[in-house]
Amino acid sequence: MNTVVASITYRAMLGRKRVWLLALLPIALIAFALLFRFIGGGDESVAVELMKTFAIGTMLPLLGLIAGTGVIAPEIEDGTIIHLMSKPISRPVIAFTKYVVAASLMLGFSVIPTYVAAYILIGTESGIAAGFALGALFAGIAYAAVFFLLGVVSRHAVTIGVIYALVWEGLIGGYVPGARRFSIQQWAQSIADQVTTSAFLKSEVALSFAVPAMAIVVVGSVVWAGQRLRVLSLTGDE
Amino acid sequence: MSQPTGVIHDIGYRHYDGPRLGRGAGAVALWVYSLRGTFGLGRTFKSKIMPFLLFGAMMLPTVVSIAIMALLKQEPMSYTDYAVFMQPIIAIFLAAQSPVLVAPDLRHKVIPLYLSRPVTIVDYIGAKLAAMIAALLILLVVPLTVQFVGEMLIDLPMPLHTHEYLAALGGSVLNAVLLASIGLALASFTPRRGLGVASVIAFYMFTLAASAVLTGVLESEGHRDAASWSILLNPFFLVNAVQANLFGTQPTEGLPFPSGAGPALILLAVVALALTGLYARYRKALAA
């Protein structure tokens, strides 16, 4: 960890208009929770549906994408990363610091709003709020790691990340049951399923697979990103 | 002491005396250049991968559908539902390629250089918009047309789906105009490509999830009317509804769209809003 690098990265992510990209989705989630509460839909199935489709299914991968790639990819894209890399700081440390920033953004912009929205809808009933918040926490950490690695490896990080989230997790995961094993979303749901007692949530992936897979993905991605940063070459854009 | 110190030498520069093509030709040249850019033509190999991969993905259902028609003599895939069915691919194409059109010029602050020519800012925006519309039309119309030609050649024991095909073409135009205006307006707000891609796809995924959740919950709570309107949040369903009302085709299975002119008015309003935003953005880019 390097506090200076961390503070610069926080400023880049939260400065001026940029913060809206992160803030709008959680605000929308809480607005939906309020709306459903208002029209009297505050029952368990509605809460699970909102959490599954919107919080875990849409907001989490999107914020992971924005936070994970956003902490490093823009700097690589416009070449200003060279100022950071020419300082006597180990590059794996730079990578780790930036990843920690991304993961902490996930905590603030996705885990807490997930809990708040579920709490607005049904309070602490059946442990839905706690379960989904915990699932969002672990999955957020994993999404941030994967997309952070993509941001270091490829210039088309965001597009590849979107293809993973929409086509692999959304389309292929819908038809091919085997693909769901390699979906961070499903891992989040199996963690949520452990905590909540709600009958409306059925997880597809066993916890004994999801947790080790998540650990491997996070550690592997961050270490690999650090190694990639050591040999990063800055070439012209297109 | 007061003798001249500088001399201008004639080093043989010559004036251009040939014909000048003027504003229209400039705008057309910009359109062609931008359209080629959306598919990575004239760029590096790396920037061709993504658009052609997505185009290939769009052709996949068509190929399968022709094979099914030829071997099993069954109905072809629905023409009118094609855009709704393939919406993730179209959205990814829009998100990935919109910033390609607008971001570099904004980042390198070269728009004043365009405007030092007869091209005006409206021409510039128009050319970029027309390029994105044309790119989306290629993406949508080519697979539909290939399937229709396939259906004609295979000679199925049922009437041709000519009306559905023509309605789908109309729907493709609506889709292309709507998506291109939204995509360019969102992408133009940041000079960085990565953030542009993220904001366009964030918009799509938000509308996708919001329309699904809202419709589901409103329906289960008994607000059927509100549910049928909230489904229009997703731009692909909005176009599908307008297409169904305009051409009298079947809407996508299981979707209770509101009838009448309402969806069409929403579509027009969204396009107008996006274009106003785009125009305002470029006015600001020039003032800065």
Q: Is the pLDDT assigned to residue A55 strictly greater than 50?
A: yes
**Is-contact A107 A140, C-beta < 8 A?**
yes
Average pLDDT over residues A207-231: 87
pLDDT at B127: 95
Note whether A143 and A106 are within 8 A (CB): yes
From the list A53, A62, A167, which residue is nearest B202 (CB)? A62
A-chain residues within 8 Å CB-CB of B221?
39-41
Residues of B in contact with A28 (CB under 8 A): 206, 210
Q: Distance between CA atoms of A189 and A162, rounded to whole angstroms?
A: 20
pLDDT-derived band at B101, boundaries 50, 70, 90: very high
pTM of the model as a whole: 0.88
d(CA A234, CA A78): 10
Q: Do residues B63 and A130 touch, judged by C-beta distance below 8 A?
A: no
d(CA A223, CA B41): 36
Q: Supply the pLDDT for residue A238.
A: 43
In the three-class reduction of DSSP (H, G, I as helix; E, B as strand; rest coil), residue A77 is classed as helix
Q: How far is B217 from chain A (nearest CA, A)?
A: 6
DSSP of B218-249: HHHTT-HHHHHHHGGGSHHHHHHHHHHHHH-P
Is A87's pLDDT higher than 70? Answer: yes
pLDDT in tens, B20-78: 888 999 999 999 999 999 999 988 888 898 899 999 999 999 999 888 888 888 888 88
Inter-chain residue contact B107 with A78, CB threshold 8 Å:
yes
Question: Over chain A, what is the mean pLDDT?
Answer: 84
Q: Is the pLDDT of residue A237 over 60?
A: no
Contact B47 A32 (CB under 8 A): no
The owner of tokens 């926490």 is A137
As a whole number, mean pLDDT of residues B222-237 equals: 85
How many other C-beta atoms are found inside a 10 Å radius of the C-beta of residue A110? 30
Question: From A171, which residue of chain B is nearest by alpha-carbon distance?
Answer: B88
pLDDT at A150 > cutoff 80: yes
Report the distance separating Cα B268 and Cα B238, nearest Å.
11
Pair of tokens at residue A59: 């907001």
Helix (H) or strand (E) holding A23: helix A18-38
What residue spans define the domains of chain B?
A: 22-287
| Best CA proximity match to B102, nearest among B205, B22, B201, B180 | B180
Neighbours of B88 (CB within 10 A): 21
* pLDDT surpasses 70 at B288: no
Which has the closest alpha carbon to B177: B136, B128, B122? B136
DSSP 8-state code for residue A52: I
| Range with the largest mean pLDDT of A44-53, A116-125, A174-183, B167-176 | B167-176
pLDDT at B271 over 80: yes
SS3 (DSSP) at B215: helix
- In the predicted model, what is the mean pLDDT of chain B? 88
Where b means 16+ CB within 10 Å and e means fewer, B130-162 reads bbbbbbbbbbbeebbeebbebbeeeeeeeeebe
> Does the CB of A199 have a partner CB in chain B at under 8 Å?
no
Decide: B237 and B255 in contact? Cβ < 8 Å: yes
Work out the average pLDDT over A99-111: 91
The C-alpha atoms of residue A50 and residue B212 are separated, in whole angstroms, by 10
